[in-house]
Amino acid sequence: MSHASPAQAGPPRAIALAQLTNAIGDGAYYVTSALFFIRIAGLSAAQAGLALTVGWAVGSVAGIALGHVADRRGARGTAVVLALGTAASVGSFLLAGSFWTFLLVICVYSCFQCGLTAARQALLAGLVAPEHRTRARARLQSIVNGGIAVGAGLGGAALYFDTKLAYQAVFALDAVCFLVAALVLLKLPRVPRSATKEARFTVLADRPYAVLTLVNAFLLLYMPLLSLAIPLWIVQRTSAPGWLPGVLLVVNTVSVVLFQVRVARRVTSARTATQAIRFAGGVMFAACAVFALSAAGPGWMSAAVLVAGTGLLVYGEMLLAAGAWELSFGLAPDGQQGQYQGFFGLSTAVARMLGPVLLTTLVVGGGPVGWFALGGLFAAAGLAMGPVARWAARTRDAELVAAP
């Protein structure tokens, strides 16, 4: 399989532009989708929540199959088709007038989105040399965060006007963004199809990689913190101002844009990846300990403590991301990056589905003790990643030795 030369170690411009375009549309979608589903589509909050949970569960499983398609049929062509499908499904939200049509559309949308993520990862793996993939992925992550911030601003404008036309314009924008991304992806060179004769979906029998994905899911429980658990914590357990969650999200986003690439430079091998993840678990434990302290003191003090905790949390997030990218790419067999990246994406889905209930119960319900328990979980998962990664590496060494 051909790769970009070391001189072109960064992500190809077309991938970066496609990711930026997607991120702008997604940022606007994230900010407005809940209100659109409830106030415009006419769903109840319970119906919207159920449909989203089912949809992302279906999409996560489909992402593995569509990643396999990218391996076998070509990552570029598959990514283009999935981007077009995502655009069509986003537009279909405007026509969903009942719970069942909405459920169907969200399932289709989630399948296309998860499949597109896996196909883009396979595309990156095919175009960038292995030793440069983590840094390339870090640059893309910085671009994505910047795009989401821009899109969130556009979504905020729609929230300000709070009209049906404004919400419809956001969904139309998101659909157009995916259309543009599909056109941009066509500019990329073709990635050779996989020539491997392995059985279909070999990732499902790869126990070390499955455990690696599970451990990563525990670490990714940080994701619902800033969007759900901390806002509830601020309102119910601290005297900090109610507008503070918005500031914390800005701190998180800007930090990733500015520092993710710099943090990822330290991760160049499986050994440095596991070191980064172990350190990330410790930093996240420290962040949780700081968040626990925010329950005491006046409003300004609680706010300062929460900002400090958010700084630690985003540092741990960046370390974890860099380490996870290195391991997920490096431990996936050549020619099977699509299905392996689709499977590794299950860790994000699990964190998103289980995180809200677990974190609200543990943190908001448990108070400072709950914060320390969550921090202990992060630290334990960070420590566990090293042995799991070594186990996975040994199985791959054994397979290579046994190969003819």
Residue with the larger pLDDT of the pair 41 and 9:
41
The CATH number assigned to the domain with range 202-402 reads 1.20.1250.20
Q: What is the pLDDT of residues 144-192, one digit of tens each?
A: 989 988 998 898 888 888 889 999 999 999 999 999 999 999 988 887 7
pLDDT tens by residue, 51-70: 888 898 899 899 999 998 99
pLDDT tens-digit map of 218-261: 999 999 898 789 988 998 899 999 889 878 988 998 999 999 99
Would you say residue 81 has pLDDT above 90? Answer: yes
Say which residues have a Cβ less than 8 Å from residue 82's Cβ, sequence separation at least 6.
Answer: 66, 112, 115, 116, 119
CA-to-CA dists, residue 240 to 230, 292, 298, angstroms: 11, 13, 7
Report how far residue 273's alpha carbon sits from residue 249's, in angstroms, rounded to the nearest whole number.
26
pTM, full prediction: 0.83
Across the range 126-152, mean pLDDT stands at 88
In the predicted structure, residue 398 carries a pLDDT above the cut 70: no
- Note every long-range contact of 346-350, with CB atoms under 8 Å and residues 24 or more positions apart, other chains counting: 346/60, 346/63, 346/64, 346/213, 346/217, 347/213, 347/214, 347/216, 347/217, 347/220, 348/217, 348/220, 348/223, 349/56, 349/57, 349/59, 349/60, 349/114, 350/214, 350/217, 350/220
Residues 260-289 have pLDDT tens digits of: 999 999 999 999 999 999 999 999 999 999
Domain limits, CATH 1.20.1250.20, in the chain? 9-185, 202-402
Note whether 1 and 335 are within 8 A (CB). Answer: yes
pLDDT at 307: 96
So what's the pLDDT on residue 88?
96
pLDDT at 325 over 60: yes
Residue labelled with tokens 């700081």: 290
CATH domain 9-185 topology: Growth Hormone; Chain: A; (1.20.1250)
Give the pLDDT band (50/70/90) at residue 343. very high
Q: How many CB atoms lie within 10 A of CB 53?
A: 14
What Å distances lie between residue 25 and 18, 45, 118, 154, 155, CA to CA? 11, 23, 19, 9, 9
Average pLDDT of the segment spanning 198-224: 89
Q: Return the structure tokens found at 64.
A: 């593995």
Residue 401 has pLDDT above 80, yes or no: no
What are the beta bridge partners of residue 4?
Answer: 128
pLDDT value of residue 196: 55
228-235 long-range contacts, Cβ below 8 Å, gap at least 24? 228/355, 228/356, 228/359, 228/360, 229/356, 229/359, 229/360, 229/363, 229/364, 230/291, 230/306, 232/360, 232/364, 233/291, 233/294, 233/363, 233/364, 234/302, 234/306
